[in-house]
Amino acid sequence: MKIFKIIALAAAAFCASMAAAQDDIRKLEQDMSSDNAHVADAARMKLEKHPDSKAAEEILVKMLGVQKDSKLKAGIAYSLGEMKSEKAFSELEKLANKKGDMQYAYILALGNYGTKQASAALKKMDKGEIVEISRLVAEGPRAKDGFTAVPKSADRFAKSDENVQVETISTLAPDEKARAFLLEFSPDSPRVAMAQCFALAKFGGKDTAAKIFAICGGLDENLVVRALTSAQGEGVDDEILEQAAKGNPVAVLAAGDRGLMAAEAAVLELCASENEALSRAAFASLQSIGAEKTFKQFVDEIAKGDENGLAQKVNACVKILSRQNDAGKEKLKGILSAASNSAKDKGKNALEKIASAS
């Protein structure tokens, strides 16, 4: 009798855990549709590692088809690539072949499959830096033949063929010897440097992030930001924050992509920079990490008739409002309403545009 009671209790516990998992996956599905980009992306990352991989895959495949935000859609693609989703492959292949700002993200997603099918799809594409890197990732086990050992001398390695350098760096085993080599080696070509940035991101840590900043000059900004956004390990955020405070545009963009709210104050100051690239990066980043401080400053400046970066300020305020919960929205609308009362004509119109968008 006792054994049946134990079995019954175990069955009840199993059913309870299954019900909890279903509730959890339903909540994550709801969060994926959130207007708050950080909430949606956090849900996407949890679904990527969810124990009910089949249900998680179905949600991500569905969201790939309906998500309008380009960055969130690229993140979904990356997760589906990590999950090696057969259902998503054909759609990811189409997206990877379609020109656009996020094309590189879909190419990387294909590389994540690590299959012959993914490698074949990448080989059919126009040759380019990121296509080659992704192909090497996809071919990891095969590309490693003859390149598994860490080069004994960085100086000697620097004299080797560029293709050998890229293949070696892209397929290094994740151990301390490889990490030490990547921190020591200084690339001579953009293609090798880009491969090194992505390899360093996989190893993670503050010193690897510092090395990425040291070698990324002249590289495709979007790709470097992507590498920094995916970088792992303790201290990466600290290095990005330090570089952002120094006015590094790539670090400013990476702070926004990683959702580093601690960078808000430093990035906000950079909006007034005479360096157009830095100012543009700061405004773009604040759309993701801006909060009450940014909103109040921009609204006050608009109300006073300051037209410098007016369109960017309006866009940032609209994004900040969209990320708030109900209580947060009401607080920011109060700031907006108070500023509107004293605003000049052009400023009043801009503030009304923010209010209507919310």
pLDDT tens digits for 257-277?
Answer: 999 999 999 999 999 999 999
Q: Residue 19 has what pLDDT?
A: 44
pLDDT per residue, tens digit, the chain (358 aa), is 444 344 444 444 444 444 445 558 989 999 988 888 778 888 888 998 899 999 999 999 999 999 988 888 988 998 998 899 999 999 999 998 888 778 877 887 888 887 888 888 888 887 665 666 666 666 654 444 433 456 767 777 788 778 778 877 877 767 788 889 999 999 999 999 998 999 899 888 999 999 999 999 999 998 999 899 988 888 999 999 999 999 999 999 999 999 999 999 999 999 999 999 999 999 999 999 999 999 999 989 988 888 788 899 999 999 999 888 889 889 998 998 888 887 777 778 888 888 887 6
Out of 1.25.10.10, 3.40.50.720, 1.10.10.10, 2.40.30.160, the CATH code matching 25-140 is 1.25.10.10
Q: Where are the domains of the chain?
A: 25-140, 153-234
Q: Residue 13 has what pLDDT?
A: 45
Confidence (pTM): 0.62
Question: For the chain, how big is the Rg over CA atoms in Å?
Answer: 24
Q: Residue 281 has what pLDDT?
A: 95
pLDDT tens digits for 318-329?
Answer: 999 988 888 988
